[in-house]
């Protein structure tokens, strides 16, 4: 059976990378596969009151890679986590913003966020699969 989504390869690469680099491995894969302009992961904090955004911008300092985002009142992030469904948002002619819940057996771990020029149903399905796999990489 073939792995048309490429998840097996990215899971192996993430597993083989140092834990601190596993998110970067996944982000590089998503950028390469879908032509994503930007990829970030937002972790839910322990009490569920905010998200911590970690982006994959390799040239930035560790401090420049993170940002705190309040969860309550965030609108779209709350929607993604509560519905546990992928959300697609038009960026006024500048592509699409895709947000996918990263969950493990119903427990919300965070949100995978990508900015893409073009999105198909197949791409959305593959992003959803990648977000699900990301939960196992993180946990």
Domain with residue 47: its CATH number is 3.30.450.40
pLDDT value at residue 4 = 56
Q: Which residue has the higher pLDDT, 1 or 105?
A: 105
**Residue 129 belongs to a domain:** yes
Structural domain tally of the chain?
Answer: 1
pLDDT value at residue 71 = 74
For residue 27, the enclosing domain spans 7-138
Q: Give the strands of the sheet with 87-90, arranged side by side.
A: 66-70, 50-55, 38-44, 107-116, 96-104, 87-90
Of 20-29, 42-51, 86-95, least confident by mean pLDDT is 42-51
pLDDT band at 5 (very low <50, low <70, confident <90, very high): low
**Residue 58 belongs to a domain:** yes
Highest mean pLDDT among 53-57, 73-77, 103-107: 103-107
**Residue 2 belongs to a domain:** no
Q: Which two tokens stand for residue 107?
A: 């427990």
**Residue 72 belongs to a domain:** yes
pLDDT value at residue 2 = 45
**Residue 106 belongs to a domain:** yes
**Residue 44 belongs to a domain:** yes
CA distance 76 to 111: 10
Q: What is the pLDDT of residues 61-95, one digit of tens each?
A: 445 556 777 677 778 888 998 899 999 999 888 89
**Residue 1 belongs to a domain:** no
**Residue 84 belongs to a domain:** yes
CA distance 60 to 65: 6
- Annotate 72-101 with b (16+ C-beta within 10 A) or e (fewer): eebeebeebbeeeebbeeeeeeebbbbbbb
């Amino acid at each position: 059976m073939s792995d048309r989504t490429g998840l097996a390869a990215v899971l192996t690469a993430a597993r083989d990378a140092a834990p601190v680099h596993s998110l970067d491995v996944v982000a590089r894969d998503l950028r390469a596969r879908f032509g994503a302009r930007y990829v970030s992961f937002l972790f839910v904090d322990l009490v569920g009151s905010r998200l911590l955004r970690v982006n994959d911008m390799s040239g930035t300092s560790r401090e420049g890679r993170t940002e705190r985002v309040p969860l309550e009142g965030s609108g779209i992030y709350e929607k993604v986590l509560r519905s546990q469904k992928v959300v697609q948002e038009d960026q006024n002619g500048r592509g699409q913003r895709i947000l996918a819940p990263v969950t493990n057996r119903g427990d919300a771990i965070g949100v995978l966020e990508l900015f893409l020029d073009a999105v198909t149903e197949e791409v959305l399905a593959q992003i959803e699969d990648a977000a699900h796999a990301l939960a196992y990489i993180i946990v």
